[in-house]
Amino acid sequence: MFGPEYCKIHTAFKRDERNVIIPGDWSLPEFAYLAGCDWRWTEKVDGTNIRLHWNGSKVTVGGRTDTAQVPATLVAALGPVTDPDLWRGIFPEADDVTVYGEGYGAKIQKGGMYRPDQAVIVFDVMVGRWWLRDDDAADVAEKLGLETVPAFGTDTLLQAWQMVKDDRLVSRWPGARIEGLVGRPAVDLFSRKGERIITKLKVRDWQDYLRRGGERP
């Protein structure tokens, strides 16, 4: 009904019994293997996960899970985006499209100052069982009248982590506190279980590590 749930985004590092990250101890072997390779990075938006699914005749709005409740104000803000004629014009032959985004804005996020209203910002698009390339996903978002998450360019996993540690990350939204980065390998890759290789680096995880007495690796 809402399309497939989005894949779990693993934190890059394992956590100890206090739920504090252990820098250098990668949470997945794939991260260790790919740490020196190029990854594509986007800003991690502080909000609520949203799915827009097109079945060829209507659009449904869902949350991260099938049972998640989507704020009524956000659903109302998405009204024009759920017009079937709009989707039919973009996907004249497709009947299984899921647009993944983050609901963000006033009264949704705790730490941001993204915008005074509510909206959805897109970070991925799946057609059937195919993930669209970044440019194609951005094109779909534009045609729907939606923005895409800000890109932070290409860096290795190690370089991106160093930026977090050095406090060199600045949100693309003036005045907003950056939550972190989400990264995928420059070439989309999948694990032996068929799961997408994707990770997140959260500023708060590093700050918590230091507050709990951790030393800079």
Q: Given strand 10-11, what is the order of strands in its sheet?
A: 10-11, 199-202, 180-185, 38-43, 151-156
CATH of span 48-148 = 3.30.470.30
Query: Tokens 């097109």 appear where?
Result: 54
Instruction: Count each helix (H run) and each strand (E run) in the chain, helices first.
Output: 6, 13
pLDDT (tens, 9 = 90+) of the chain, 217 residues, equals 788 999 999 999 999 999 999 999 999 999 999 999 999 999 999 999 999 999 999 999 999 998 899 999 999 999 999 999 999 999 999 999 999 999 999 888 764 578 889 999 999 999 999 999 999 999 999 999 999 999 999 999 999 999 999 999 999 999 888 999 999 999 999 999 999 999 999 999 999 999 988 776 6
Span(s) in the chain for CATH 3.30.470.30: 48-148
Type of residue found at 76: A
Span(s) in the chain for CATH 3.30.1490: 10-44+151-211
Give the CATH fold of the 10-44+151-211 domain: Dna Ligase; domain 1 (3.30.1490)
158: left (phi over 0), alpha (psi -120 to 50) or beta: alpha
